[in-house]
Each structure stands twice: as structure tokens, then as C-alpha cells.
Structure 1
Amino acid sequence: MKLHRLVLKNYRGIDYREIDFPDHGVVVVSGANEVGKSSMVEALDLLLESKDRSTKKEVKQVKPTHADVGSEITAEISAGAYRFIYRKRFHKKPETQLTVLEPRREQHSGDEAHDRVQAMLAETVDTELWHAQRVLQSASTDAVNLSGCDALTRALDVAAGDAAALSGTEPLLIERIDAEFARYFTPTGRPTGEWAVAIKALEAANQEVERCAAAVAEVDDRVQRHAALTVELAEITGQQGAAATRQTAARAAADAIARLTEQVREAELIAAAATATSAASTAAHTERTRLRSESDSRTAAVVALEEEAREATEAQAVAREVTVEADAAVERADQSLVAAQRRAETARGQVDDLARRDETQRLTTRLAKIDAALSGRDEVAKELSMITVTDDLLRQIEQHAAAVDRTEGQLALVSATVEFVAAADIELVVGSQRVTLPAGDSWSTVANAETDIEIAGVVTARVTPGASALEVQEKHAAAQEKLTAALAAAQAVDLESARQADRRRRELQSTRAQLTATLAGLSGDDDIDKLRSRLAELQALPAVSDDIDAGAARAELLEAVAARAQAEVDCDTHRKVAALAMNKLNEITAQVTRADDKLVTQRAELVTVAGRLAEQRAAVSDEQLTAAVEADATAARAAAGRVAELSEELAAKAPEIVAAELTDAVEAVAALRQRHDEAERMLHEIAAQLAVFGTEGRKGKLDAAEIDAEHARGEHDRVGRRARAVQLLRDVMTRHRDATRLRYVEPFRAELERLGKPVFGPSFEVDIDTDLCILNRTLDGRTVPYESLSGGAKEQLGILARLAGAALVAKEDAVPILIDDALGFTDPERLVKMAAVFDTLGEHGQVIVLTCTPARYDGVKDARRIELCA
């Protein structure tokens, strides 16, 4: 297969592009990023593989976004004996056209054209090789797998010496074996198709046999269970009588325990009442004792609080005198601080006036310099605006002047020179020019145009220059006309005056730049208008006398500030002392208040306690209360003794054991009743189930399932024998194919090493697996796995592997090698060596290189170079 021509129209961002490719050799197609180099490979795939009405994502993405038009792709391709021109338009008004040029002319359109191209390519092109012989920018370092390329396989078989043993039907036989294998197994060896159906059918039949056998076993189990339940129900009926007798005896013992428990409860109520009465009298006696103690303690507290209140009142009077004196000191310190602040403000105002005077002087001087620089820059700008010469215009004038000089020189070389020597005094008329020649003088002219020469009354001559002179004259006149126009645009007389104007323009531009820098330095970050406004504000303020001594003013300001600071410290100190005195007065006042409050409270509480004690004594005297406490305690002890006697009697009858016995008896009766009811229910259910089972014919179903299982087992064995046979055949063929691949690995490895030694050196070796993938590389005796190699080495080996495949395949099986912006990881020295390999292969095949860095392939001597423009 060869690509002769590719035309893209309205494809992504490409409006129109047409490229012709030579039949063999290296073609370097270069262009900037996003100019559409990779789009060429993509377009070729869409043309060959997608229909014009396709709605696939890959087709939609190539539609131009700036216009509502269809993308068109045209290619002229040779494949085997065929040579054809193939065109498709996608998206808008889709169309497909095919013109077959060789071996006989054909024309097709639409799906018929698409199918015809697919048929020609299937007949003549190894598509696996076509896709494998590409080095894409996104996968330039990936290992290439050439094992699926039939064209390379045939070439390697021949190279390995197996050509005589080949019949041409080996791939077809393997495909038929694989197809037969696929009837029974998946690619991973799992059963599928007929074999999977037979396996599942046998499993289903076995499961049905198991289900039917389980159903028959279920009937047997129900019969046995019915007999066992009948015996169990008779036993439970006998046990229920004994359990009822036990329950009656246990209930009588429990009733006796209940009566004795009631007597204990009544005795406990009586004892509780006596205990409560005793506790009440004891509490009343305890309260009487507490009130007496509280009355005595509160009387002593009132006396102590009266003494504390007197001492706090005396301390309050002393603190109040201290506070008055501290407030007076604060007032005096405030007056001193006010005087010091006035002195400091006066000194500060005088220093500010001096600073304002200095700022006014600085601003005046600064603005004068700024105005001078602005005036100078305006004058330079005015003069610069009058000069019309620019760099481009001067360059045009110089180019046109050089063209005039060049054409003048050429004109002098090709024009004839006519010289006249006067033998006597004569007068010549040359065109519109009249020349007088005295005897013996000479005059000459260059005839670069048709010129009439007349000697009045003697002769008229016409000098006509040759065609080359006329052509040079026309170029000279055109150059002179362009020079005149350029000089007029520059307002210059000649080239020298234009250069003088340009020099003056550059001087003025330099001066303007200096003045601009001066202005920037003078103004800094300040706005000039704001500086003028500030100066006006300063000048509007009252003038400052020059007699003021700046040093004395600053010294007075320092002394005044220091005096104010000291006054502030003194004032702050007196305020703190006054605050402490006030805090102390407030604290003592609070103490006085608290002491008075406590005294009032204690007196009131003393009155309350004394009143309560008097009330209680009026009701019951202290002696009567003591006697009542003793009597109530005796009654409580007697009631507690009665409770103890009854409790001992109840404990002797073991109420817990009696209650447990009653509970066990009741539970035993209930359990037997439940077992009896459950046995009767289950017996009834089993009888009903056996009646239903008798109508289902489970034994007959089991016999039918066993017959079906035997049939499924026979089908399973029959299909299994065929499946195992094809599996064995495939294993044998695969083993022989792998052995064959091992033989043709050596020719591929030899060709790869032959191409790689000029790049990597004479010690270069590679190890290849049966899929023709590079496993490792050896240099100078050091072996490195492929995956551990650098990106540049992987990229170089990938290209060399494709070149080796292209060199081995037969001429009629060759396909173009497409390299999209590869060798980006390769150093300059290796680039030169790789270029030599490209030259070697380019003599026989077609190599198309797409790159944005054409300098990488400068070493490819015989390459044809095509540069793409945006």
C-alpha cells in the first residue's frame, strides 16, 4: 500500500490542504503546533473506515466550528494491483465517490464505493501491519506488538526457511480450529455454547433427581413421625394426672404461708407506728435542746457585732479625711498639666511653622525643575512630530536606493556606449538634448533606450538597445519611481538627507526619553498637580518670619514636651493615690454597712429564737418532754419484739421453698398441657400432609427424573468428547504455531540488530519474545529490561522495530510507516544515527514523518520536505 496524495477541505481548522507524496523515500511534513499534522493520520482513518453518514464521536469532532459546511477528505492510494482515488464528505450533504484507475477503470458512489474499498483493502493490505507501522506522539515509547501481522508472519516464515513447507492454508486451518473451539469454550477456556448447555442440562437433571428423591424421603419421614407422635401423646396423658396432684398439695402449703405472712405484716405496722411516735418525741426533745443552745450563741454574737460596728465607724472617719486630701492633690496636678500642655502646644506650633517654611522652599525649587523639564520635552516632541522619517520608511528608501544602484550597474553593463569625436565644429541633437562639439573634442552617451541622434543637414541616426537592456531599463525606472515615492513620503531630497533626518529623529527620541526619566525622578510617586496644589496651600498660609531660630524653637519644644510628660506622670500618680484612697474608703464603708446589717439580723434572729423557746415551754415543760421520750421508746421496743417472734415462725416454714414448689408444679402442668396440645396439632397436620402426598405421585416423578438424568448424561458425554477433542487439537496446533514463531523470531531479531547497531553500537543485542515484542536490550554486555530503559531508548527501539518489519515484508505487502512527532526524547548524536537508518529504508519503502521540529530530521539526506502553513 502507498499513499500518493491527500486532500483535506473544511477539516477541523483546515480550510484546504493538498499534499503529494513520492512513491518511496522519506517525506518530512513539518508545521507549528495545532496546524493539523496529526489530523492527516486521523483523516486517513476516517476516510477508509467510517461511512459518510456516520454519527460516531470521532466523525462529529472533525466538523469545523466556524462554518456550517461538511468536512471533505480525498486520497489517492495504491494497494496491490489497484490504484484508486477515494473521496468522502461528512456532516453536511454526505457523499462518497470512488474512481479505480488500475488495473481497469471503475467508478462507484455511496455505500457501494465504501464496500468496494473495504474489499480491495481486505484483499491487498494487512490492516494489522498498517496500524502497527505507526509511531504516534501519545504512545511513542510503548512497545510495539507485530505478532498479529500476517504479512510479516509470511515474510518471517520465508526468512526462517519454511517457505517450501507452507501451503497457504495454515491461517485458515487455525481459524477453523479456533471457530470450532469457540463452539465449546470461551477464549479463556471456560465452557460455552453446546458444551455449557450440556453441562447445565446434566446439572439440572441431577438436581431434579435429588429433588424428587427428597420428596419421596419426605413421605417416609412423615409416616415415621406420625407413629412416634401417637406413642408420645399417650405418655403425656399419663403424666398429666401426677402433675395435677402435686399442684394441689403445693397450693395448700402456700395458703398457710400467706396467712402467717399477713400476721407479720400487721405486727410490723404496729411496730412502725410506735417507732414513729418515739421518733417524734425524741425529735421534739432534740429541738428543745437546740433552741436553748442557739439562744445562748446568738446572744454572744450580738455582743461581738456591736464591738465590730464601733471599730469600723472609727476607721471610716479616718479614710474619709485621707480621700479629701488626695482629691486636692489631684486638682493641683491637673492645673500643672494644663500649663505644661499650653507651653508644649505653643512650641509645637512654632516648629510646625518652620517646617512649613522649609517645605514651601523645597516645593518651589522642585516644581521649577519639573516645569523646565516639561517645557524641554514639549519642544522636543514638537520638533519630533515634524520629522516623517520612520525606521520602516528609511529601510524602504535604502532598499529602493540599492535597487536603483544595482539596476544602474546592470544597465551600464548591458547598454551600448556611443562616442562621437568631432573632426570639425558640429552640433548634435540627441533626443531633446542639443550638444555642441568643437573640432577635436569628443562626447559619449549610454544608449539604454531608443535614442535619435541628428547632425543637422548631415545625418540622422537611431540607436536601439537590445531586449535585455530594455528590461533592465524598465526595472531601473520602476526602482527609481519607488525611490522617488519613498523620498516624497519621508519629505527628503535624497538618501543622505533621509538618513540625516533619521539620525536627528533618534537624537530627539533619546533626548525625550532622558527628559521623561528626569520628570519621573523629580515627580517620583507624587502627582504634579497635587504638588502645585500643596504649594498653593502653603503659600496661602501666613508667612513665617526669618528671625525665628530653628534650633532654639526645637530645644524649647523638647523641654516643653518633657515638662508635659512629667506633669502627666505626676497627675497620673496623684490620681492613682486618690483612687486608692477612695477604694479604701468604699471598702471600709462597705464593712460598716455589713457590720450594721449583721447586727440587725442577729438581733432579729435572737428575738425569733427566744419567742419559739418560750412558746414550746408554755405547751410542754422540759421535764414532761423528757418523760414522754422514755415512755415512747419502751412501747417501740415491745412492738419490735412481737414482729421478731412472728418473723422467726414464718422463716421456720421456709416460704421460698413452698413458693418454688408451687411455681414448679404450675409450670409442669402447663408444660404438659402445651406438649399435649402440640402433639395433637402436629399429629393432625401430618395426617393431612400424608393425605395430600398420596395424590402427588412422588415415586413416579422420581422414576421419570432418573430417566431424564440418564439421557442428559449421555448427551453430556457425547458433547464432552467433541469438546475435549477440539480442545486437544487446538492445544497441539497452538504448540506447533508457537514453535514456528520461535523459528521466525530469529530473522526478526537479526534484522532489528542490523538496523540498531549503527545507532547503539556494534555490541547492540535484543531479546525478542514470540509476539515479536522487545524484552530487553544489551549494550557492552549489560542487559536492561525494556521497561527500565529511558524514554529516548524506548522511542528509538520502537521505530527500529517498525523499520525492521517494513524491511522484511514482501514488496507487495509493504505499507507506509507513519511517524507523528517522534524522537523528542532523542539526543542530537542519536538523531544523526537514526537519520542514516531512515535513509537506508527510504530506498525501498514509504516513510511519512509529521513533526513540529524539522531540525530533528536534518540528517535524513534524501528526504523530501513539506512545510505546512496555518
Structure 2
Amino acid sequence: MRLHRLVLTNYRGVAHREIEFPERGVVVVSGANEIGKSSMIEALDLLLESKDRSAKKDVKQVKPTHADVGAEVTAEISTGPYRFVYHKRFHKAPETGLTVLAPRREQLTGDEAHERVRAMLAETMDTGLWQAQRVLQAASTAAVDLSGCDALSRALDVAAGDTATLSGTEPILIERIDTEYARYFTPTGRPTGEWAAAVSALADADAEVTRCTELLAEVEERVQRHAELSEQLAGLTADQVAADARQRAAQGAGATITALREQLRAAELEATTAEATGAVAETARTERVRLRDELESRSAAVAALDPEIGEAVKAGAVAENASDAADLAAAKADRELAAAAERVETARRVVELLAARDEADRLADRLARIEVTERDLEQVLAQLAGIVVTEPALRRIEDAAAALDRAQASLAAISASLEFIAAADVELVIDGERTLLPTGQSWSTTVTDGTQVDLPGLLSVRVMPGDSARAASAKSAAAQDELADALAAAKAADLAEARGADQRRRELQGRRDQLTAALAALRGDDDVAALRARLAQLRGDHSDLAAEVTPEAARADRDAAEALRTQADTDCQSRRQAAMDAAARRTETATRVTLLKDKAATQRAELEAVSSRLATARGLVSDEDVTANAEAHREALRVVQQRVAALSEELGAAAPDAIDAELAAADAAAQELRTRHAETARELHEVQVELAVFGTQGRRGRLDAAQTAREHAAAEHDRIGQRARAVSLLRSTMNRHRDDTRRRYVEPFRAEIQRLGGYVFGADFEVDVDTDLKISARTLDGRTVPYESLSGGAKEQLGILTRLAGATLVAKEDSVPVVIDDALGFTDPDRLEKMGAVFDAVGAAGQVIVLTCSPDRYRSVKDAHRIDLSA
């Protein structure tokens, strides 16, 4: 397909526009935004796809809003052997007109014209390729899908060396297979339609047969269960009679054991009472013995405390005297330490005053050096201020001098030389000046601006330079003026003086930097005024210091004072510790005396209390009566314990555990049999009721009907399943062969993309292309990046390269225009330049239409035909 001419009238905001396109090559159509570039593609699609009376939304949207007229589109197109002019007017007074120019002239109107164009395009043009070969603004970075383009597939078959002859109906056959496959399966391979209905119907029939079978089996299971329960109930009745007899025998033996246990329990209670009473009597006897023993021990303790108290009083007096003496020694040591500390402080003050005097001397020297450095720096800065020559000025002078030398050398090389040799004495007038030339002498000059030589009364000679010499002379004069201006600006007579001034400036700058660094080092972070104030303060601090005092003597006196203070401090600490120890011993002895006295008073009070309690107890019961009462209770407890032992022996001989176990087992067995008998009877009654209900449901007939329906569903399932499996096998076989074919022609397609991409990305550019002819990854500089991870600019460039590769591969009769709508907006200037070479390489083989509002993006396309819509 080729687009030769496109005419829009009253289309959106376009009143009238007619554009003619060359048959091949790159056409760059440029214009401002909203001038109607994208509308050209839209108008062409509406012309080819929509009828003139269409009420679709995309047709309504193109109606102009400024006038009540219909939008008109006219295009001249060639496709295959046909060339025609096609016209439509939409909205108001719709009409369609077709004039076929070749291979034979035809004229049609209305729907007949519309259908004729559709037939010609279907016969000669791959509509999938026409839609794919567009780069639109909204999807310039989307991956290109050319897998459905039959024209490209045929071209790639040829490029891949496939010699099979195609009938042209292969895509239709695949579509028909896919349509038939869709009757039975979803795109994911699951049953659908009548095949899904057949599968579902068979599954439902199987489920119904299973359900009816289970219902009939339930009836049979209930009949069998009724017989089993009847048999179990008869057996349980016989077992219950025997269990009742066993239970009665066990209950009689258990009554005997219960009586023995009651007698034993009464004897054990009596023994417990006797044991408690005897324990009370024994406790009273033990308490009476304890009181007698405690009275004796406390009397002995009181007698032993009096000598110990006397010794403690004597030790306390000695400790008090020692503490007083230690306190006096510690106070003396404190006074000696204070005197030594005062002497140390005095010595340190002298050392600090000497240090301040030394610091003042150093600070005065530093301030003097700062003043000298500042004066030197001021002198250097004053000299620098008088030098006008700077590095840029010197470079200007040197460049001007060099330019003058080059101009003069060039002028000398191309200018003519004029020389006179006198054969006799002669007087010449050269440029108005008289010159006497003796015999044999010569005179010469270089002719730059023209020279006139007169021989008065005889001859006048004028020598003029050529154009190149005059130009060189003018250039030399300009260089001379530039040098003079540069020297004047630098206040220098010549280049040597300017260089000397620059050298002196450099030396002064170095000296300035040295002085600045020295001054910064002398000042440091300090302020000079603060340094002077510090100097005045230091001189005032040591003004009362004697001049004969030396630092060495002051430090020696300080060290001696500190040693004396250290010794005094050591003595003071030891004496303080001794005083603290003596005071602690005094406190300890006083505390011991107090504790012993308190202990003696406590012992006497407790002795009196014990004596009082013992006298009171003896007044109530004598010691002998307490002892006799305890012996009588021990004898009564022994008699009761003997009776408990006899009853325990009799109960053990009767085997109470075995009798208890037998009674429990007999009770449990009887209760279990009664429970099982009742449960079995209940279950038997429920089964009888269920069998009565089942007899009214006709479950056998329902199973027969379900089996018949299942046979019909199975037959229908087999019939439809054979067709579904056949079309599935056919589709998988066709897809396998189609995939094999695609794998063969992916390589020539990839090679063409890499060939065109070499113009933009270089020789190491590679791409991976899948069987759907989509770029899956790009390799550049040895690094492979998935397509989706590329930048927007790279995706846009690869999209254009893919479409251009398809355009170069398809056969001439199958080619369609490649339309690029305002693309390459993400592309940098370097790649824009290289993309121009790609367009030039492809343009010779097909038709490429570029719509853009930035024509500079495509200035590198050298062979482009350019159309400016704003012109």
C-alpha cells in the first residue's frame, strides 16, 4: 500500500488541507501542536473503516464545531495492482465516492464503493501490518507486536529459506481452527460450551447414579442392622439375669466388711482421744522439768555477769584516756599541715609570677615581629598596586606580538621586493623623499602598500602590491595596532618591559604570600589588640616581683615546700587515724559496759519471772502429781492400741479389698448390661421406623432411571469428546508447526534489527527476539538488559527500529507506510543524529511518514522530503 495524496476539509479544526506524498522515501510533516498532524492518521482510518452514515463516537468527534458542515476526507492510494481515489463526507449530506484508476477505470458510490475498497484492501493489504507499523504518541515506548502480520511472516519464510509454497489461506485456516477450538475449550484449555455441558452432564449423571446407589445400599444396610440388633438384644437379656445374681452375692459380703470397718473406726477414734490426753499430760510434765532447769541456768548466768562488768568498766577508763591523748596529737598535726600548705601556696605564687614574666617577654617579642611583618607587607602591597601588568594583559601582549610576527612574516613572503642599482650617480624621489644614489650603490624595499619612484624629468615608476599582499599588509597593520593597544593598557613600552613588569609582579606576589603566611602564623587565632592587653596585664601582675629571684630558686623552694607539706599531710593522716581508732575503742568499751549491764538486768528480770511461774505451778499441782498423771495416761493409750491392732488383723483376714473389687465389678457389669440393653432396644426401634419410611420411597426404581440417564449422557459425552479432542489435536499440531516456522524466521528478523541498530548503537549491539517477534532483551557493551528495564528513550528507538526492519523485509507488493507520530521525544541529540542514518537507509525501499512538531529532531535525515503545515 502507498499513500499518494490526502485531502482534509472541515475536519475538526482543519478547514482545508491537501498533502501529496512521494511514492517512496521519508516524508517529514511538521507543524505546531493542534495543527492537525495526528488527525491525518485518524482521518485515513475513518475513511477506510467507517461508513459515511456511521454514528460511532469516533466519527462524531471529528465534526467541526465552527460550522454546520460535514467533515470530508479524500485519499489517493495504491495497493497491489489497484490505484484509486476514495472520498467520503460524514455528518451532513453524507456521501461516498470511489474512482478506480488502475488496472481498469471504475466509478462507484455509497455502500458499494465502501465494500469495493474493503475488498481491494482485504485482497492486497495485510491490515495487521498496517496497524502495527505506526508509532503513536501515547504508546511510543510499548513493545511492538508483529506476530500477526502475514505479509511479514511470508517475507521471513523466504528470508529463512523456507521453500514451501503457501496458498495464502493459512491464516484463515488457523482462524477457523481457533474458532472451532473455542467451541469446546477456553483459551487456557478448560472445557467450555457444549463440551463443558457434556462433561458437566456426565458428571451430574455419575453423581446421581452414585447417590441412588448409596440410597439403595442404605436400605440394605438397615435390614442387616435390624437382624443384628434383634440378635444382640436377646443375648443381652440372658446376660442381665446372671449379672443381677452376682451383684446380690457381692452386696452380702460387702455388708460384713462394712460392720468390721465401723468397729475398727470406733477403736481408732478412742485411741486418738487417749493419745491426745496423754500428750497433754506429758507436755505438763515436760514443762515442769523445763522450768526447774531454766531456774538453775539463769541463776548461774546472773552470778557470772558481775565480774565481767567490773573488768569492762576498767577497760573503758583506759580507752577514754588514750582517746584524749590521740585527739591532742591530731590537732597539732592539723596546725602543722596548714602551715606547710601556706608555705606551698606562697612558693607556687612566686613560680607563677616568674612564668608570667617569661610569657610577657615572649609576647613582647611576638608583637614586635608582627609589627615588622605588617610594615613589610604594606610596602609590598604598595609596590604591587603600582604594577598594571596582569597575566591576562601579558598573554594579550604576547599573543599580539606573535600575531604581528606571523603577519609580518607572511607579508614579507608574499610581497614584491624592489631594488635599484645605480650605473651612475643619480637622484631619486621615493614616495616624495629625495634619495641620492651613488654609482654602484643599490637601494631596495619591500612593496606592501604601494611605492612610487620618480626620476625627475625622466621617469616616474609606481609599484602596486597584489590583493594578497594588501590583505596581508592590512592584517599586519591590525596586528600592530592590537600590540600597541595592549602595551598601552599595560603601561609598557615593549614586550620585554611588560615581561619584566610581570616578573616583578610575580616576585612581589610571592613575597606578599610569604609575609601574609608569616603574619597569619604570628597572629594565629589571636587578636593583636587582645595580645597587647594581655601583655599589659602580665607586666602589671609581676611588677612587685624582686629582680634577683630566679626561676630555679623559686622552683626549688616550691618543691621543698611541697615535700614538707606531703610529709605533714602523711603525719596528719596517721594521727587522725590513730585518734579515730582510739575513739572507736573508747566507744566500743563504753558500749560493752552498757550491754553487759543491760544483759544483767534482763537476766535478773527473767530469773524472777521463771521463779514466779514455777511457784505458781507448784501451788496448783505438785511435781510428783504431774509425773503420776503422765504415767497413767500412757498405760490407757497402750490398752486402746492393742484393741485397734486386733480389729485390724480380723479385717485384713476377711480380704476387704477383694470383696470391694468384686462388688464394684458386679455393680459395673450389671449397670453396663442395663445400659447396653436399653441402647440396643432404642436402636432397634429407630431402624424399624427407618425401614418403614424407606419402603415408601421407591429407591430401586430411582436407581434404574439414573443408570439409564447416565448411559445417554455418556454417549453424548463420547460423541462431543471425539470432536473436541480432534480439534485440540489439530490446533496443537498447527500451533507446533507455526511455532517451528516462527523460530526459523526470527533469526532473519533479528539480523535486520541488529543491522539497522548498528547505525545507532554501534557494532556490539544485539537483541533477543521471541517467537512473537517481540524484542525481549538488548545487549550493549557486553551488558544484557531486559526490554522492560530499558529507559523510555531506548524503548522508543527500538520500537522504531523494529517497524523499519519489518518494512525492509516485507515484499514490495505487501509493504505499507510506516507512520511515526511525534516520536523520539525521549532521545538524546547524539542518537537523534544517528537515527537519521537509519531513516535514510530505509527510505529508499519504502514509504515512511513522520509527523512532528519538532522538525529539528529529524534534521539528520538527509534525503527527507519536508512539508511544513504552518507555511
**Which of the five TM-score ranges fits, normalised by the shorter chain?**
0.5 to 0.7
Residue 399 of structure 1 aligns with which residue?
399
What's the TM-score once normalised by structure 1's chain length? 0.62
CA distance in 2, matches of 1:341, 1:195: 117
The yes-or-no answer on 1:352 pairing with 2:352 is yes
In structure 2, C-alpha distance between the alignment counterparts of 1:414 and 1:120, rounded to whole Å: 73
Give 1:407 shift: 4.7
C-alpha separation in 1, matches of 2:183 and 2:393: 84
1:666-723 Cα shifts (integer Å, max 9, x gaps): 4445434433443444345444544554555543443343334334433444455456
Which residue in 2 is equivalent to 1:141? none
- Check conservation: 1:330, 1:575, Cα contact below 8 A: yes
Q: Structure 1 residues 571, 214: CA separation in 2 closer, same or farther (over 3 Å shift)?
A: same
Query: Measured at CA, do residues 490 and 674 of structure 1 come closer, stay the same or move farther in structure 2, by a change above 3 Å?
Result: farther
2:571 matched to which residue of 1?
570
Say whether the 8 Å CA contact 1:415–1:448 is kept in structure 2: no
Preserved CA contact (<8 Å) 2:128 2:148: no
What is the match of residue 517 of structure 2?
517
- Tell me the distance in 1 between the aligned counterparts of 2:32 and 2:310: 120
Moved more, 391-400 or 624-633: 391-400
Instruction: Quote the Cα distance in structure 2 between the aligned partners of 1:298 and 1:96.
Output: 129
- In the alignment, the residues of structure 2 paired with residue 376 and residue 120 of structure 1 have an alpha-carbon distance, to the nearest angstrom, of 92
Q: Which residue of 2 aligns with 1:325?
A: 325
Which residue is equivalent to 1:284? 284
Give matches, 1:35-46, under 5 Å.
none
Q: How do 1:752-791 residues align onto structure 2 when only pairs under 5 Å count?
A: none
Q: Deviations over 1:528-547 (max 9, x none)?
A: 45433322321232423321
Q: How far apart, CA to CA, are the structure 1 residues paired with 2:172 and 2:495?
A: 84
Matched AA of 1:122? L
Residue 455 of structure 1, CA deviation:
13
Query: Residues 441-493 of structure 1: CA distance to partner in whole angstroms, max 9, x if unpaired?
Result: 989796659x9999999999999987666766776676667666666665666
Q: Which residue of 2 aligns with 1:622?
A: 623
Q: Which residue of 1 aligns with 2:603?
A: 602
Counterpart contact for 1:281–1:629, Cα < 8 Å = yes
Q: Which amino acid aligns with 2:129?
A: A
1:549 to partner: Cα distance: 2.5
Q: 1:230 Cα deviation (Å)? A: 4.3
Counterparts of 2:523 and 2:681, CA distance in 1: 118
Matched ranges for 1:109-120 at <5 A: none
- Secondary structure at the counterpart of residue 548 of structure 1: coil
Alpha-carbon shift at residue 589 of structure 1 (Å): 2.9
Are residue 437 (structure 1) and residue 434 (structure 2) matched?
yes
Partner of 2:366: 366
Alpha-carbon distance in structure 2 between the residues aligned to 1:546 and 1:439: 96
Q: Which position in structure 2 is the counterpart of 1:535?
A: 535
Query: Within the alignment, does 1:812 sit opposite 2:813 as a pair?
Result: no
Cα 1:452–1:609 shift into 2, 3 Å: farther
Change (3 A) 1:353 1:684: same
Please show how residues 8-87 of structure 1 align to structure 2 within 5 Å. Answer: 83=26, 85=28
Structure 1 residues 842 and 93, CA gap change in structure 2 (3 angstroms): closer
Change (3 A) 1:378 1:240: farther
Q: CA deviation at 1:323?
A: 1.9
Equivalent residues of 1:387, 1:505 under 8 A apart: yes
The Cα offsets for residues 68-103 of structure 1, whole Å up to 9 and x where unpaired, read as xxxxxxxxx99x977555889999999566599998
Structure 2 residue 129 is the aligned partner of structure 1 residue 122: yes
Hey, what's the Cα distance between the residues in 2 that align with 1:694 and 1:485? 134
Q: Residues 313-353 of structure 1: CA distance to partner in whole angstroms, max 9, x if unpaired?
A: 22222222222222222222222222222222222121111
Question: In 1, distance between residues paired with 2:31 and 2:648?
Answer: 116
Over 3 Å counting, the alpha-carbon distance change for 1:620 and 1:347 in structure 2 is same
Which residue identity lines up with residue 213 of structure 1 in the other structure? T
The 1:462–1:667 alpha-carbon spacing in structure 2 relative to 1, beyond 3 Å, is farther
Shift of 1:556: 1.5
Aligned to 1:37: none
Call closer, same or farther: CA 1:379–1:102 in 2, change over 3 Å: farther
**Counterparts of 2:742 and 2:36, CA distance in 1:** 49
* Residue aligned with 1:437, SS: strand
| CA-to-aligned-CA distance 1:283-337 (integer Å, 9 cap, x gap) | 1001111111111112222222223222222222222222222222222222222
Q: 1:819-856 deviations in whole A, cap 9, x for unaligned? A: x99xxxxxxxxxxxxxxxxxxx999999xxxxxxxxxx
Q: 1:486 to 1:600 in 2, by over 3 A?
A: farther
Distance 1:103 1:735, change over 3 A: closer
Tell me the equivalent position of 2:270.
Answer: 270
1:300 match: 300
Between the aligned partners of 2:841 and 2:35, the Cα distance in structure 1 is 41
Pick closer, same or farther for the CA change 1:685–1:722 going to 2, 3 Å: same
Alpha-carbon shift at residue 219 of structure 1 (Å): 2.2
1:151-166 pair list within 5 angstroms: 163=163
Q: 1:409 to 1:282 in 2, by over 3 A?
A: same
Query: Which residue of structure 2 aligns with residue 57 of structure 1?
Result: none
Residue 217, structure 1, aligned to residue 217, structure 2: yes
Please give the per-residue CA displacement for 1:487-527, whole angstroms capped at 9, x wherever unaligned.
66656666555444433332222112111221233344555
CA distance change for structure 1 residues 84 and 239 in 2, over 3 Å: closer, same or farther? farther
How far did 1:150 drift? 11
SS at structure 2 position matched to 1:345: helix
* SS of corresponding position for 1:546: coil
Partner of 1:591: 592
| Equivalence for 2:335 | 335
Q: Is the 8 A contact 1:448 1:470 kept in 2?
A: yes
Q: 1:90–1:197: structure 2 CA closer, same or farther, 3 Å change rule? A: farther
What is the aligned partner in structure 2 of residue 23 from structure 1? Answer: none
Q: Residues 418 and 447 of structure 1 are in contact (CA less than 8 Å); yes or no, is this contact kept in structure 2?
A: no
What residue is the counterpart of 1:508 in the other structure? 508
1-side partners of 2:260 and 2:675: how far apart?
35
Contact 2:155 2:810 in 1 (8 A): no
- Aligned partner of residue 163 in structure 1, secondary structure: coil
How far apart are the structure 1 equivalents of 2:76 and 2:396?
53
1:564 partner letter: R
Q: Percent identity?
A: 48
Is the 8 Å Cα contact of residues 447 and 464 (structure 2) preserved in structure 1? no
Are the aligned partners of 1:126 and 1:151 in contact in 2 as well (CA < 8 Å)?
Answer: no
Deviation track 1:104-152 (CA, whole Å, cap 9, x = no partner) reads: 99999xxxxxx99x9788369999xxxxxx9x9xxxxxxxxx9999999
User: What is the distance in 1 between the residues matched to 2:455 and 2:150?
Assistant: 93
Contact 2:222 / 2:691 at 8 angstroms: preserved in 1?
yes
With 351-360 and 219-228 compared, the bigger mean Cα shift is at: 219-228
Structure 1 CA distance for aligned equivalents of residues 406 and 376 of structure 2: 44
Return the offset for 1:362: 0.4
Radius of gyration: which is bigger?
2
Distance in 2, Cα, partners of 1:389 & 1:355: 52
**What's the RMSD between the two structures over aligned residues?**
6.3
Q: Are the counterparts in 2 of residues 411 and 473 from structure 1 also a CA contact under 8 Å?
A: yes
Alignment correspondent of 1:636: 637
- How far does residue 619 in structure 1 lie from its aligned partner after superposition? 0.7
List aligned pairs for 1:59-208, cutoff 5 A. 83=26, 85=28, 95=38, 122=129, 163=163, 202-208=202-208
Do the aligned partners of residues 220 and 627 (structure 1) sit closer, same or farther apart at CA in structure 2, a change above 3 Å counting?
same
Stretch moving more, 320-329 or 90-99: 90-99
Flag the 1:229–1:333 CA change in 2: closer, same or farther, 3 A.
same
The answer on whether the counterparts of 1:89 and 1:95 sit within 8 Å (CA) in structure 2 is no
Deviation at 1:616, TM superposition (A): 0.8
In 2: Cα distance, 1:322 partner to 1:307 partner: 24
Note if contact 2:337-2:572 (Cα within 8 Å) is conserved in structure 1: yes
User: Post-superposition shift, 1:602?
Assistant: 1.8
